Amino acid sequence: MARQQLAERLSNVANHAAERERLGAALAEKEADRGRITTLHRRGRLPLAEAEHRLDDIAREAALLRSRIDALVSEDEMARVYAARSIEVEELLTDLGREVDEIERMNDFAKKRRIVEALVGRIEVDPEGQQIDGRVRVIFRFGAPAGAGGGSDFKDGSRGRTPHRRSESSPRCQTSPRTRSPSQSPG
């Protein structure tokens, strides 16, 4: 599904190039219209009020065209970022996939830690009181692009802020609110 979305976004980039060219030509035509209106007024063939009205209309239409061009440029940039991020994530997951079986078989904590550090950008802890009760949120390095949300709760992988509660058999720990990278040592 992600590859299909990527293919759709990249095909839209190609379509947007033609659309931007068409909008650019329409914008150039608006500039030409502006020049013609100004010339007609200077020659006395168009009263000032009518010229101003037409120039205002042209300015509004040109602003709409510029706005649409800017929106297409933004969409194209987002598609490029999404493509680069998708390739990066695919490479990361391929590399990690090669190691997972060995890590599970050997129960190698150092390699497990390296994988967590590769996948997790940061961990946020919102404690309730002085105990471990509270919320733990894991923000992955390969989350959604900026502005699209991201991260998931530690307990069940769902989005949102579902509390992660300490079970009764868990040891009680003191905690303080802070955010740290998994590569930082505690303390």
Q: What percent of the chain has pLDDT over 70?
A: 74
Strand order in the sheet with 152-153: 152-153, 134-140, 120-127, 178-180
| H-run or E-run covering 36 | helix 2-42
**Token pair in block for residue 78:** 């987002």
| H-run or E-run covering 180 | strand 178-180
Cα 21 to the center of its chain, rounded Å? 26
Phi, psi of 125 (to 5 degrees): -120, 125
Confidence at residue 125, expressed as pLDDT on a 0 to 100 scale: 84
Confidence at residue 103, expressed as pLDDT on a 0 to 100 scale: 85
Domain boundaries of the chain, sorted by first residue: 2-106, 119-180
**Token pair in block for residue 5:** 């979305």
Tell whether pTM > 0.95. no
Helix (H, G, I), strand (E, B) or coil at 64: helix
Confidence at residue 143, expressed as pLDDT on a 0 to 100 scale: 58
Confidence at residue 32, expressed as pLDDT on a 0 to 100 scale: 97
Q: Which residues contact 127 (CB under 8 A, 6 or more apart)?
A: 133, 134, 175, 176, 177
The band of 31, judged by pLDDT with boundaries at 50, 70 and 90, is very high
